[in-house]
Chains A and B, each alone.
Chain A
Amino acid sequence: GEDVEQSLFLSVREGDSSVINCTYTDSSSTYLYWYKQEPGAGLQLLTYIFSNMDMKQDQRLTVLLNKKDKHLSLRIADTQTGDSAIYFCAESMGPSNTGKLIFGQGTTLQVKP
């Protein structure tokens, strides 16, 4: 079946790195995503990774994918107070499945000044 799991809460100090972890079960996933949700707002796509990649870097964000262990992580370098939000990991079977997204339950990132 399809299932995505994340730890619920992470607290870091401003300027430190944050690492948010995610595990998924469907090995046929073609794309994996990280979304950010600020209070009262919709979801914003932060970054994505194709399943044949093992790393992707985009400015302060680094995504690592271990396909063998079905483990995905998001590292935020130099974490700022504006990064405080809920971060959702999601998997998709790609356009052939109309891009249905299966989300994890979200990790609340708290950044302390």
Chain B
Amino acid sequence: DAMVIQNPRYQVTQFGKPVTLSCSQTLNHNVMYWYQQKSSQAPKLLFHYYDKDFNNEADTPDNFQSRRPNTSFCFLDIRSPGLGDAAMYLCATAGAGQMSYNEQFFGPGTRLTVL
């Protein structure tokens, strides 16, 4: 089945230690998104890729970076995680231009704990 996969599902890191979260998709979608969802809060868009074009949200901290080496994979790098970065990180994809509305397909998320 076509899907959005996130690895790992649970990640524990230490304060200040760089960490990378992974997302892959078999949907061949143009657009890939990264959202941050803190406990009991709404998912908040960090950035997205439209093909190879990177689009950062204005209020996304510099501590967060992303890479998209090919259509299928997208990575979220947190250079120096702080305690406030503990959250669920959701990856989503969308096939831009294929539908009149934007259905985003979400992965199961990676729950990040910072010790």
Contact = CB atoms under 8 A, between A and B. Distances in A.
Interface of A: 4, 30-31, 35, 40-45, 48, 50, 88, 92, 94-95, 98-101, 103-106
A94 B102 contact: yes
Contacts, number: 64
B22 interface: no
Given A40-B108, A98-B55, A88 B42 contact: yes
Given A42-B106, A50-B101, A105-B42, 4 more contacts: A43-B106, A48-B101, A95-B96, A106-B42
B42 A98 contact: no
Interface of B: 4, 6, 31, 40-45, 48, 50, 55, 90, 92, 94, 96-97, 100-109
B101 A103 contact: no
Contacts of A106: 40, 42
A51 B107 CA distance: 27
Contacts of A45: 103-105
